Chain A
Amino acid sequence: MSLTRQDVEKIAHLARLSITEQQMPAYVTSLSNIVDFVAELSSIDTGQVLPMAHPLEGQSQRLRADEVSEADQHVKYQVNAPEVQAGLYVVPRVIE
């Protein structure tokens, strides 16, 4: 196993995912297998090749004028929120 249970617990924490006791062993195995599988890449000589972030290179990032382009529709958008009060999203208390 290239990843330990502690590794997977740490990754799950960084990704903000709760993983149940029951699911944990299968994740340790499958994530280890995936990491081993992609490790093949490290043996490839990439010399001076530059990383490619975008499939259509030579395109420059488009900018738009700094103008208001969207109307305020927060009431419509907040219909999908689990909990809203006075137009604000409600979460458990963070500051005592």
Chain B
Amino acid sequence: MHDLSIGDLLSRLAKGEVSSVELTQHFLSRIERLNPGLNAVITLTGPQALQDAAVADRRRVAGERTPLLGIPLIHKDIFCTDGVRTSCGSRMLDNFIAPYDATVVARLKSAGAIMLGKANMDEFAMGSSNETSFYGPVKNPWDTTRVPGGSSGGSAAAVAARLAPFATGTDTGGSIRQPAALTGVTGVKPTYGRVSRYGLIAFASSLDQAGVFARSAADAALVLREIAGFDVRDSTSVDVPVPDYSASLSTPLKGLKIGLLKEFFTGLEPRNEMLIQDALKIYRSLGATTVDVSLPSLPLSVPVYYVVAPAECSSNLSRFDGVRFGYRCEQPKDLMDLYKRSRGEGFGTEVKRRIMTGTYVLCAGYFDAYYLKAQKIRRLITDEFLAAFAQVDLLVGPTTPTPAFPIGAKVDDPLTMYLNDIYTIGANLAGLPALSLPCGYVDQLPMGLQLVGPHFAEARLLNAAHQFQQVTDWHRHVAHGYE
């Protein structure tokens, strides 16, 4: 049951071959059995899930048909869930019970989906390995001595281990695509503004975007349609109609023009490059053509990101003051001591590092040299992307430089960790939609193929990913022990 697609599960539910309660119970028992070895789920909402599933079953019998009626899922713990702890992977919010639902959560609820629990993540989504979580690292189902990637590592590992048919995630510099690649699942980061950020605990507001982890592009298409769309509560939400992503999945790729970014292939590890070249052969056999393109400013995307994202984070995280919600230190001697110790003790090492980086680049005297400069180069990078999309329909390349690395390997070296996102950050800076799908193995560990499209071209990305998944079976492979 846990290996069926969302489409198959829906048709079994429709035929009455399985009930949502049975399905929910099945995934809950998998979580109970397998999660202790993974640490992917940090809050389980079993009793509520079973109640919701029973309601879904009754609604189905009564003839109701919402698009995901009775399908279980796991939410990244960055999304506020009414009445359920929302920790953002931090000691700061270890005791925080969200008083309302994020729009993504509310939309999936009204589509009929059943929340099983909340997924582990890097603290405040700052990390590329899930090791900065207050709740401990998540393990990669393909090798439990290795990281699943981050920051949405719990969501990725949960989908890879078949603990849920799909999960939500967020992507600020690669936090959906990188863990999707390292765990062998399909991850979609939509266009900035495509999915509401309301109720999503903010990291870097001009980069954050919510998206989906699923086992295939077809499953992701079903979910994205439900969470995408205008939301009056998010001031940067875009009022553009949401297409039926599933309807265009089978469009033939004949005539599709794929751009190969020179900067993505320079210095690429040979075994990684071979996988990408094999994938390109498949795309050519499906009728696509490939052309070389270059974005000369793209190599600057990592330093630009590590100015812009920390700057926005230092501002966003100033709301955690030990007064209105979250952690408060013991016996503060005055208000300044309360602020400093609540924040100093409530935030972990990496979060404090990013807040301080951001504070520094925003300081009087440095603002022009760092922040404004980075924003100017951000425009150069974006303009180069847009110029490339005047020539090609999408860009294809690797998602990550390497497969999953051992837990602990990079934890003491932030800069090496930051370079994991070298291929993914560009799409965030330019607000572009991008997707990672499994394309083979290096050292028996899954690797991802990344597709990047112009603004609002999610349907094209899902179509291209689905066509690839019609002629390959990487996305059907399951890590040993999780079949």
Which chain B residues border A15 with CB–CB below 8 Å?
314, 343, 352, 355-356, 359
Instruction: Please tell me if the beta carbons of A40 and B340 are within 8 angstroms of each other in the complex.
Output: no
B222 to chain A minimum Cβ distance, whole angstroms, is 25
Known A41-B303, A80-B96; judge A92-B334 contact (CB<8 A).
yes
Q: State in angstroms the CA–CA spacing of A46 and B304 once bound together.
A: 13
Residues in chain B near residue A46, CB distance under 8 A: 373, 376-377, 380
| A61 close to chain B: CB less than 8 A | yes
Secondary structure at the B interface, as helix, strand, loop or mixed, is helix
Residues of the A chain whose Cβ atoms lie less than 8 Å from the Cβ of B360 = 3, 11, 31, 35
A32-62 Cβ-contact flags toward B at 8 Å (1 or 0): 0111011011101010011111111001011
Beyond A19-B344, A38-B374, whether A79 also contacts B99 by CB under 8 A is yes
- With an 8 Å Cβ cutoff, the count of chain A residues facing the other chain is 52
For the residues of A in contact with B, the DSSP-based class is loop
Interface residue B390 (Cβ < 8 Å from any Cβ of A): no
Q: How far is the CB of A55 from chain B (nearest CB, A)?
A: 3
Contacts of A50 in B (CB 8 A): 376, 379
Question: B193 contacts the other chain (Cβ, under 8 Å)?
Answer: yes
Contact B300 A17 (CB under 8 A): no
B339-394, CB < 8 A from A: 339-341, 343-345, 347, 349, 352-353, 355-357, 359-361, 363, 369-370, 372-380, 382
Docked Cα-Cα span, A40 to B369, in Å, equals 11
* CB proximity of A48 to chain B, nearest CB, Å: 9
Q: Could you say which interface size class chain B belongs to?
A: 35 or more
- The residue in B297, B349, B357, B382 that gathers the most chain A C-beta atoms within 10 A of its C-beta is B357
| B376 and A37 contact, CB distance less than 8 A | no
Is A4 in the interface zone, CB < 8 Å from B? no
A91 vs B191: C-alpha distance when bound (angstroms): 42
Contact B376 A83, beta carbon cutoff 8 Å? no
Please state if A16 and B382 are interface contacts (CB–CB under 8 Å): no
Q: Judge whether A31 and B99 touch: CB under 8 Å.
A: no
| Bound-state Cα–Cα, A16 to B322, Å | 11
Q: Tell me if A23 is interfacial: C-beta within 8 Å of chain B.
A: yes
- B355–A34 touching, CB < 8 Å: no
Given contacts A38-B370, A42-B369, A91-B338, contact A17 B352 (CB under 8 A): yes
A86 at the interface (CB under 8 A from B): no
* Interface assignment of A94: CB less than 8 Å from any CB of chain B: yes
Given the contacts A44-B300, A62-B235, A92-B332, A17 and B343 also touching, CB distance less than 8 Å: yes
Question: Restricting to B423-458, which residues have a CB under 8 Å from any CB of A?
Answer: 428-431, 455
Q: How far is the CA of A61 from the CA of B326 in the complex (A)?
A: 31
B236 contacts chain A at the CB level, 8 A cutoff:
yes
Least CB distance from B430 to A in Å reads: 6
- In the complex, what distance in Å separates the CA atom of A91 from the CA atom of B307? 33
Report if A87 contacts B (CB, 8 A): no
* Contact between A18 and B99, CB atoms less than 8 A apart: no
Q: Which residues on the B side are within 8 Å of A68 (C-beta)?
A: none
Which residues of A approach B to under 8 Å, CB–CB? 3, 8, 11-20, 23, 26-27, 30-31, 33-35, 37-38, 40-42, 44, 46, 49-56, 59, 61-62, 64, 73, 76-77, 79-83, 89, 91-94
